[in-house]
Amino acid sequence: MQISAGQLCDLLNGSLEGDSAVIIFEVAKIEEGKEGALSFLSNSKYEEFVYNTKSSVVLVNKSFIPAKKVKATLIKVDDAYTAFTIILEKFSNPNTDLLGIETQSYVDPSAILGDAVYIGFATYVSKNVNIGQNSKIYPQVFLGRNVKVGSNCIIYPGVKIYEECIIGDNCIIHGGTVIGSDGFGFAPQPDRSYKKIPQTGNVIIEDDVEIGANCAIDRATMGSTIIRKGAKIDNLVQVAHNVDIGESCAIAGQAGVAGSAKLGKYCVLGGQVAVTGHIVVADGNQFGGQSGVNASIADQNKKWFGTPVNELRESLQSLAIQRRLPEMLKRIEELEKKMENKFPQ
């Protein structure tokens, strides 16, 4: 990366205050900046660092008004955090140079590979797999029969994508994730044993989805488990068979969504949230960490917390009351003693 502040300002359609000729070589946290580095300020908690950072250039929001002199060159943009992300994508992407098929990988002759595809060491590409242009398949990935991977995807090491699953364009799947493993389907028998129910469906992951490391996205019993466009899934998340995750949902680590549950658009699940099976959650609902969602929610755009979940304000009020219970119990016991002394039996 080597670009002048003026060129960067033009790229971001921003406004510049300071030296437009200063050259940027790298990016850095604002509190760890040094000469030639680009940093950003979007959270007011870090404002103190903008006045003494050694970074040459700092991206800030247009609304930012310095309280005192800033040594660095400032580039003002609509959203400093988003602008910084754009710079990282453009200048710090290690995947752009990966091309070709590495040795000791296997690509079935029936597979179709688009232009500028990369296949890493010890990766196995099965029959009738179709990989779109500019997708990067890292070492030790398994792609099962008839799998489709769209364009501009990144599949990191150790990912396993079982047969018939479909991955859209611009998706990122991190190491160790398994897509298309069998759903947890077993029929109880009279002798209390379990008979496995064949899982005949697949998983469909739409465009612009990112899935973290060591997740499990189970195939449908029939039909499809669906992760819709723009959804973001953190590490260590379980998505069960026939689940439908809505567009642009965000699911934090260790959350689990049970079979046939359906989340609407823009839902947010905090860490370790559990969603029971066969329920429907409307668009825009948000759930605090460790909440238990055990029933359908028809209301949109509300915040929830607790197990079972309650609306956030009511749940916090209940927690405040719970913290006072020991004190309340003590007062009740004291009142009982006074009543016994005043009215002995």
Structural domain range at position 210: 159-308
Q: Which tens digit of pLDDT belongs to each residue from 299-319?
A: 999 999 999 998 878 888 887
Which residues are catalytically annotated?
Answer: 241
Asked if residue 277 is part of any domain, the answer here is: yes
pLDDT at 345: 67
Are 201 and 285 part of one and the same domain? Answer: yes
Q: Please say which residue of 91, 119, 151 terminates a domain.
A: 91
pLDDT at 294: 95
pLDDT at 91: 77
Section 14-40 average pLDDT: 94
pLDDT exceeds cutoff 80 at 92: no
Sequence length of the chain is 345
Q: Please say which residue of 91, 116, 138 terminates a domain.
A: 91
Are 202 and 299 part of one and the same domain? Answer: yes
Q: Which of 85-94, 178-187, 326-335 has the lowest mean pLDDT?
A: 85-94
Are 191 and 288 part of one and the same domain? Answer: yes
pLDDT over 70 percentage in the chain: 98
Task: Count how many domains the chain has.
Answer: 2
The 10 Å CB-count burial string (b at 16+, else e) for 200-210 is ebbbbbbbbbb
Question: 183: which DSSP letter?
Answer: P
> Does residue 258 sit in helix, strand or coil?
coil
Q: How many C-beta atoms lie closer than 10 Å to residue 305's C-beta?
A: 22
